[in-house]
């Protein structure tokens, strides 16, 4: 398997500014979506520089009605105790992102449930996809559901992104969704979920097998939350850890 890094993961935000230290993502059309409005450090700044960046980000986010603050640290960069204390004192939540990859040949061999039908998402079955999508968006609040649904609906109807979306039907009921980003080097899985009442029925493995066949000879990659139980499932299935990245978010900061 070729060397995989976080740089191969699709970013949905719009780049406002990029320099040798960081990339600033600002997306005024989606102000409350954290990962589309953040600062991504290329190298670890000093803590004093970070304090200064907090104030700069606060000004930029206030202008576009974003109420959060968000920073992503360099790939594989450990944060020592002084950093962790500063993050905690400023009221940020610390999260860990982990990058995993699996050979497409392995993925093709995942068991498939013959009662599961998988269809690409079009304008004709878009509402089925969105019905599942919104169930996973609800914990983030009504405003996020509205913003993300509008963005996704527009992308599907106008075909304005490079994402292939699929919806899984179990006995003709939409119960699972998955987004696929295909590049020359990799195939990325994103937005993957199965409704809770329909888990452990082979729906997820059927969807992943579908991706494996689509990938051809390319490795399949995904990012998992380091604290999420789904990560353990991926490891058991044969996904191989590649790298990690810390991210921090402060909600209602503006």
- The domains of the chain are located at 6-99+246-250, 104-218
How far is it, in rounded angstroms, from Cα 140 to Cα 162?
25
pLDDT band at 3; cut points 50, 70, 90: confident
How far is it, in rounded angstroms, from Cα 6 to Cα 98?
9
pTM of the model: 0.94
- The whole-number pLDDT of residue 105 equals 96
Number of C-alpha atoms within 13 angstroms, CB side, residue 188?
Answer: 21
pLDDT, average across residues 28-40: 97
- The whole-number pLDDT of residue 227 equals 78
Alpha helix stretches (DSSP H) within the chain: 47-63, 81-89, 104-108, 126-137, 142-158, 203-215, 229-237
The reply to whether 6-99+246-250 and 104-218 are identical in fold is yes
Helix (H) or strand (E) holding 192: strand 187-194
Mean pLDDT score across all residues of the chain: 96
pLDDT (tens digit per residue) in 51-76? 999 999 999 999 999 999 999 999 99
How far is it, in rounded angstroms, from Cα 36 to Cα 144?
12
pLDDT (tens digit per residue) in 6-18? 999 999 999 999 9
Reference 248, options 79, 73, 75, 98; nearest CA is 73
Reference 34, options 68, 74, 72; nearest CA is 68
Class of 6-99+246-250 per CATH?
alpha beta
Which CATH architecture describes the domain 104-218?
Answer: 3-Layer(aba) Sandwich (3.40)
Q: Are 220 and 102 in contact (CB under 8 A)?
A: yes
pLDDT (tens digit per residue) in 126-177? 999 999 999 999 999 999 999 999 999 999 999 888 999 999 999 999 999 9
């Amino acid at each position: 398997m070729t060397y995989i890094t976080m740089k191969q993961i699709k970013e949905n935000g719009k780049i406002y500014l990029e320099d040798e230290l960081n990339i600033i993502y600002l997306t005024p059309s989606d102000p409350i979506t954290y990962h589309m409005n953040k600062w991504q450090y290329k190298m670890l700044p000093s803590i004093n520089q970070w304090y200064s960046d907090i104030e700069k980000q606060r000004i930029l986010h206030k202008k576009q009605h974003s109420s959060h603050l968000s920073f992503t640290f360099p790939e594989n960069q450990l944060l020592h105790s002084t950093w962790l204390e500063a993050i905690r004192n400023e009221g940020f939540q610390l999260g860990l992102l982990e990058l995993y990859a699996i050979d497409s040949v392995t993925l093709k061999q995942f068991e498939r449930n013959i009662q599961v039908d998988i269809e690409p998402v079009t304008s004709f079955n878009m509402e089925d996809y969105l019905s599942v999508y919104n169930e996973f968006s609800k914990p983030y609040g009504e405003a996020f559901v509205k913003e993300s649904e509008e963005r996704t609906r527009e992308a599907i109807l106008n075909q304005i992104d490079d994402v292939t979306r699929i919806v899984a039907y179990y006995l003709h009921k939409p119960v699972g969704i998955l987004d696929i980003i295909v590049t020359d080097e990799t195939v990325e899985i994103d937005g993957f979920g199965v409704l809770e009442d329909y888990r452990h029925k082979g729906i997820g493995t059927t969807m992943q097998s579908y991706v494996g066949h689509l990938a051809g000879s390319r490795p399949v990659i995904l990012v998992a939350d380091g604290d999420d139980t789904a990560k353990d499932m991926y490891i058991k299935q044969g996904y191989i850890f590649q790298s990690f990245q810390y991210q921090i978010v402060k909600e209602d900061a503006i």
